[in-house]
Amino acid sequence: MSPSDIASHNGRLALELLRIYGPQTRVELAGRLGLTEPAIAGIMTRLMDAGFVDQRKRLGSGRYVSREYRIVPEGAFAIGMHWRPSGGQAVLLDLSMAVVARRDIETLNEADDVCRSFLSRDSIAARCRGIGLSLPAGVDLPFPAWPRLKTIDEMEAAVVAERVLGVGDRDGGLVVLLINETVKAGLLIGGRTFRGEHGRAGEIGSMATGPDRVALRDVLNVEHFRRRIEQGSGPYAEREQQWAVSAAGHLKDAIIAISGFLSPGLILVAGDLPQTALQRMVETVNRETRSFIASFSVPDAAVATFPEGGMAEGAAASIFVGDLFPELSQMPLSFAGHDAG
């Protein structure tokens, strides 16, 4: 790495530490980064000149005045959009990775209108680092010629959302299962998104599961859930629980297989299902998995931080990752929100 590369890398790390832990003094940043205080002063000067960081007196610092650095949220912005043929969502993130605007979108024209509305304020347009567009695999639509457009697969976007804005990284990695028209997996292994040599590592829908050896995608999708609810009898909660038991019987096999091959630290479930249905299924699959295999190498599943998948958020965050913040594999291992100031 050249000296300028090293300086840029240290600046990205410093900004990420401010995002995770909140305002930090020069001494605190020096300790976390393993750099000298003069080096930190140089990094902070560059970030302040760029408008990404400012400085203030730390409240309650007592007799000796400590000054701390903090992120300027309006110092930069990123737009994220997620699109499927059935519609999508758009978000605007500021530099602190907070969502400052959110819109549902139903058509391509509406997507263009939303993007233009986000950029209608000169202060945002001038500091927008780019637009992330999350699409399902195989979807290639004629989107408007937006400036600084980056396209990302929806499963990679879901993983980025959890890594950057959700649970963070885990020992062994992270798996996100997304249930909509089918079921797919997003994988974060060794701090990197993983799709396999042929880009099909997350295509778990064809896996034969359950005692009847049915393809997982045929029993774990939104349409199957709706049919089971409509055709069932009794109170809604009972019908939902019946579906959850059936779905868990098939999902259990997929989770055991994923755990055997990858040993992830955490498996998250998201999708277009009602959150109560997701929660019932997750609770049921955890019980069934534990009764089937006692090994703790199979982690409990949990509902994702973003129950619908967080693809728009992940697409927006992907604009910042590697630009103002480190690449996923270079981010500090502390979980998002842990020890945040």
Q: 134 phi and psi, to 5 degrees?
A: -95, 125
Domain coverage including residue 223: 167-303
* Tally of domains in the chain: 3
Q: Would residue 338 count as lying in a domain?
A: no
Predicted local distance difference test score (pLDDT) of residue 85: 80
Strand-pair partners of 274:
none
Whether residue 155 is found in the same domain as residue 186 = no
Tokens encoding 328: 């996923």
Strand partners, 228: none
pLDDT interval class at 339 (50, 70, 90): very low
| Residue that is last in its domain, among 71, 87, 106 | 71
Residue 17 covered by a domain: yes
132 in a structural domain: yes
Confidence class for position 143, pLDDT limits 50, 70, 90: low
43 and 13 in a common domain? yes
Are 23 and 135 in the same domain?
A: no
User: Over 70: is that where the pLDDT of 327 sits?
Assistant: yes
pLDDT above 70 for 276? yes
pLDDT at 58: 81
Confidence at residue 340, expressed as pLDDT on a 0 to 100 scale: 32
pLDDT at 197: 61
Are 294 and 202 part of one and the same domain?
yes
Tell me, yes or no, whether 132 and 13 share the same domain.
no
According to the model, what pLDDT value does residue 62 have? 62
Residue 36 CA to its chain's centroid (Å) = 33
Q: For the domain that residue 230 is a member of, what is the CATH number? A: 3.30.420.40
7, containing H or E segment: helix 3-21
* Cα–Cα distance, 155 to 134 (Å, whole number): 8
Between residues 46 and 4, which one has the greater pLDDT?
46
Question: Does the pLDDT of residue 200 top 80, yes or no?
Answer: no
Residue 87 sits in the same domain as residue 43: no
In a domain? residue 332: no
Query: Per the domain annotation, does 329 fall within a domain?
Result: no
111 and 179 assigned to the same domain = no
pLDDT confidence tier of residue 198, bands split at 50, 70 and 90: low
Q: Report yes or no on 337 lying in a domain.
A: no
The answer on 202 and 84 residing in a single domain is: no
* 111 within domain boundaries: yes
Give just the sign of the alpha carbon dihedral 327, 112, 305, 152. Answer: negative
Tokens of 335: 């979980």
Q: Is residue 41, in this structure, part of any structural domain at all?
A: yes
